Structure 1
Amino acid sequence: MSDCPNVTETKQNRVLTEMDWKEKWKTRQIGFHVKDVHPLFEEFLNEMISGKEKLNIFFPLCGKAVDMKWLADMGHNIVGADVCELGLKEFFEEQNIPYVEESVTEIPGAKVYKSTSGNISLYCCNIYDISDSVIGQFDGIWDRGALVAVNPCERERSVIVIIINVI
């Protein structure tokens, strides 16, 4: 924590590493995952969409958020990113969405899981390796809790990475 002098590590503000995050998924410590669309997202969706169709929406640290299918079913294009492959695969399996797995040549070791319908692409990689040249630009972002999972010292960097990918 010495790199982050103004942040005190507490039980509520634990600095998670990529390995911690993968371990949480492996041991099923995923209390952050909810089985329903977030009520605030439902309430304010019209403000984000503003009557537009086929928006490109980004989900940082997406896991297996059901909100992605909800929006995809409305005709929007979804791109998510997460370091844990398990959550991404579970998303497609639990939502009964056929998908394919491909390597991402621009990001060594990264994979993308794409719905066969083509409107959902979930990248398995570190969010800092993502760029608009790989995933495009977006009309909106839905972050239900990704920012709090990011190391507090990296939050500004995380926001910058996300913002440069929004139109």
Structure 2
Amino acid sequence: TEITQKPLWDYWSNRWDTGNTPWHRPDIHPMLTEHVDEVLGNRRDAQVFVPLCGKANEIKWFYDNGHRVAGLEYVEKTVRLFFEENKLSYVETTCPIINCKILQTNDKRLRIFVCSVFDFKKESVGPVDVIWDRGGLVAVNKEDRLRYISVMLSLMSPDSTYTLISVVYDDDSYTGFPKSIPDDTVRELFGKEMKLTKVAETTKKQSVSFIKAPVSEVFWRITL
């Protein structure tokens, strides 16, 4: 897995190294704050999994609101920046299941695994109540989507909720990230055995300058 995915991970590592990260929001994603009940239900002390998390501010938001957070990020430098910028002291340990680094707060309620998402195992993290996926699925290549989703579904139980923020635009000339994932493709990827609810959709005429079309974000609530 590491060998076949290396070009992708090198690409993202270079983007972080050069500060070319237009997807990183300085705030909390409005679809979380506006639809928090759809994301968390009435859960308290939920374990929230955030794949390909970067240094997303939602990580600390979940933590500050009393939840346990497990993030996953391949670029170690970015993980360290997250802790430093949020003035969170942390310790470094090793996951015995997949032999990767874990950077975590002293209370162990916020952990970020430094590894490839395709190598992740549910035994590493324990029961996951909520998945917050903004910038995860849209940041892998088309041919890797089913493998990515299989990892996400392996973490879920019948009581889990998977929030997916998909990105949709009609610009065939743009081949980079984030990848456009139309609604029909989302339904096809997750199959008929999953329950999908389209909660919200927002469209910006020019969300990002390099995509020459209106860009929509779609909030999907996915359960088993």
- Scaled by the length of structure 2, the TM-score of the pair is 0.65
From 13, 25, 31, the equivalent of 1:22 is 13
Shift of 1:48: 2.3
Aligned residue for 2:116? 126
Q: Are 1:161 and 2:161 counterparts?
A: no
Shift of 1:160: 0.9
**Deviation larger for 68-77 or 44-53:** 44-53
From 124, 147, 156, the equivalent of 2:137 is 147
Bigger Rg, which one: 2
Shift of 1:124: 0.3
From 48, 60, 64, the equivalent of 1:73 is 64
Q: Distance in 1 between matches of 2:133 and 2:86?
A: 20
Letter in 1 for 2:61: W
- Report which of the two has the higher share of strand: 2
Shift of 1:148: 1.2
Shift of 1:100: 0.5
Equivalent position SS for 1:36:
coil
The count of residues paired between Structure 1 and Structure 2 equals: 151
Q: Distance in 2 between matches of 1:130 and 1:82?
A: 11
Shift of 1:51: 1.6
Query: Please, what is the CA RMSD of the aligned residues?
Result: 1.1
Equivalent position SS for 1:142:
strand
Q: Distance in 2 between matches of 1:51 and 1:116?
A: 27
Equivalent position SS for 2:133:
coil
Bigger relative contact order (CA 8 A; separation at least 6): 1
Cα deviation digits, residues 49-72 of structure 1 (max 9, x gap):
222200011000001001010111
Equivalent position SS for 2:34:
helix
Shift of 1:31: 1.0
Would you identify which runs of 4 or more consecutive aligned residues in structure 1 move more than 3 Å? none
Unpaired runs of at least 5, structure 2 = 1-6, 158-224
Matches within 5 A, 1:1-16: none
Q: Are 1:45 and 2:46 counterparts?
A: no
Cα deviation digits, residues 104-148 of structure 1 (max 9, x gap):
23224x200001122100000001111111111211111111111
- Scaled by the length of structure 1, the TM-score of the pair is 0.86
Equivalent position SS for 1:80:
strand
Equivalent position SS for 2:35:
helix
Unpaired runs of at least 5, structure 1 = 1-15
Q: Distance in 1 between matches of 2:52 and 2:64?
A: 20
Aligned residue for 1:113? 103
Percent identity for Structure 1 against Structure 2: 32
Q: Are 1:136 and 2:126 counterparts?
A: yes
Letter in 2 for 1:80: G
Letter in 1 for 2:150: I
